Structure 1
Amino acid sequence: MGRVVYGNQMSLDGYVADREGRFDWAVPGEDVHSAVNDDLRNVGTFVLGRRVWEVLRAWDVMDLADQGDAVRDFAGIWAAADKVVCSRTLAEEDLADAPRTRLSRTFDPDEVRALAAASDRDVAVGGPELASQALASGIVDDVSLHVHPVVVGGGTPAFPTPVLLGLELVEQRAYDGGVVGLRYRPRA
C-alpha cells in the first residue's frame, strides 16, 4: 500500500511564493534537490493543483543536456509518474500534450486515499490548497518541508486553510545555504 505524501519548499515565515508570486528564493541547491528527489522517488501519482502543475509541466519539455544530476533525476521521476490535475478552469484540451496526465474538477480525499491504497507507490499531493484539504481530511501520511532562510513578508501560505493537526517530527537535516529539511508524520 502506498502512502499519501506532501512536500514543499517554503520561507521561514511560512510562504511558498512571495506577494508577486515569485519563488526564485526557493530554487533548491543540488543537495536539497537530491533530497526532494529521494522524497519523491516512490511516487506513482502526483495530484496537483493547476498552478503547481503549470510550473512542473516544464519538466515535460525541458532540455536536460546542460542540467545537473538532480535535475535529470527529477525529470525521470516526473516522467514515470501519472498526474492528476485538479482544476475548475482548465479544459481537457489544455492537457492534450501532457503525458500521463488527466483532469479532475475536484479534489476528492477519498479518491486520493484509494489511489494510494490500491498501489505499492505513493501519491504526492502538490500545492498548498490541496495539501490543506488533504491534511484536514486526515489522509496525509508524511509531510516534508524544506525551509529556506528568507522572510518574504506575505504571499501564498504553505497551509492556507486553517487546520489543527498534531505532527511528530521524525527527521531534521541542515543543507547548504542554511536550508533546513523537516519531515513530520501526523500523530495517531
Structure 2
Amino acid sequence: MAQLIHTTICSVDGYISDASGSFDWAAPDREVHAFVNDLERGVGTYLLGRRLYETMVYWETAPTDDPESDVEHDFARIWRAADKVVYSRTLEGVSSRRTTLERDFDPGAVTRLVASADRDVSIGGAGLAGEAFRAGIVDELQLLVVPAVVGGGTRALPDGLRLDLEFLESRRFAGGTTYTRYAVRR
C-alpha cells in the first residue's frame, strides 16, 4: 500500500531556507545525495508547492552526460520518471513532463490518490506539507538535518502543529547530516 511521505532537508534549528531565502547550506554531499536517491526510488508521484516546483524543475533538463556527477544523473532520471502535481494559484503553467497543475489543495483527493497508487506519494514544500499535516493525511515524516544553525527563514514544519510520531529508523552520515524517519501516529 502506498503512503504519503514528507521528506525534507533542514537546519538543526528547523529551517529549510534561511532568512534571505538561501538553502545553499543544505546542499547534500555525494553520500547524502545517493541516500536521498534511494529514498526517492519508491516515489511514483510528487506533490509540490510552487516554490519547490520552481526549484526542482531544474531536474527536468539537467545534463546527464557528466560521469563526475553520477548521483545527480540518477536523481534526474528518478525525477523524470515520476508524475508531478503542482499546487499553485499563481503559476500560469508547468514546463515539465508528467506534470499537472492544481489550483487548490484537496486533502480528500490526495487521500484517494494515495489509496489508488502502487508507489509512494511524496509531498513537498513547507506550506503544502503543512496543509497535509494539518489535514491528518501524512503517513511518514523523513528529516535530513544538516549541521547548520541558520537563525530564521522558512520553517520545515509549521508553528502550532502537534504530531505524535513513532520512531522508525535513523542514520548518521560522515559529513554530519542525520536522517530520521518517523511514522505519524493517528
Q: Note whether the superposition's TM-score is higher than 0.5.
A: yes
SS in 1 for 2:13: coil
- How far does residue 22 in structure 1 lie from its aligned partner after superposition? 0.4
The one-letter code sitting in structure 2 at the alignment partner of 1:148 is: V
In 2, are the aligned partners of 1:167 and 1:185 still within 8 Å (CA)? yes
CA distance 1:157–1:165, shift in 2 (3 Å): same
Aligned position for 1:12: 12
Inter-CA distance 35–156: structure 2 relative to 1 (3 Å threshold) = same
Aligned to 2:114: 116
- Whether the 8 Å CA contact 2:63–2:73 is kept in 1: the answer is no
Work out which of the residue numbers 164, 182, 186 in structure 1 matches 2:180: 182
Match of 1:57 in 2: 57
Offset, 1:153: 0.3
Work out the percentage of aligned pairs sharing the same amino acid: 48
Tell whether the 8 Å contact from 1:29 to 1:176 is kept in structure 2 after alignment: no
Q: 1:107 aligns with which of 80, 102, 105?
A: 105
Alignment-derived partner of residue 40 in structure 2: 40
Name 2:139's counterpart in structure 1. 141
1:129 and 1:161 in contact (8 A); partners too: no
Matching residue of 1:71: 72
Q: d(CA) in 2 for partners of 1:164 and 1:60?
A: 35
Partners of 1:134 and 1:125 lie apart in 2 by 8
Which amino acid in the other structure matches residue 105 of structure 1?
A: R
Query: How many angstroms does 1:161 deviate by?
Result: 4.5
Any conservation in 2 of the 1:169–1:183 contact (CA below 8 Å)?
yes
Q: So what's the TM-score if we normalise by structure 1?
A: 0.94
* In structure 2, distance between residues paired with 1:110 and 1:68: 39
Let me know the Cα RMSD of the aligned residues: 1.2
What SS does structure 1 have at the residue aligned with 2:57?
A: helix
Instruction: Work out the CA distance in 2 between the residues paired with 1:183 and 1:70.
Output: 22
1:131 to 129, 132, 136: 129
Q: How many correspondences in the alignment?
A: 185
Letter in 1 for 2:60: D
Superposed CA offset, 1:34-70 (max 9, x none): 2211221111111100000000000011112225222
Letter in 1 for 2:89: R
Instruction: Quote the Cα distance in structure 2 between the aligned partners of 1:19 and 1:81.
Output: 31
Please, which runs of 5 or more residues in structure 2 have no aligned partner?
A: none
Give the superposition deviation at 1:162.
2.2
Indicate conservation of the 8 Å contact 1:149/1:178, yes or no. Answer: yes
TM-score, structure 2 normalization: 0.95
Unaligned runs of 5+ in 1: none
The aligned amino acid for 1:85 is: V
CA distance in 2, matches of 1:88, 1:17: 22
**Which secondary structure state, in structure 2, belongs to the residue aligned with residue 177 of structure 1?**
coil
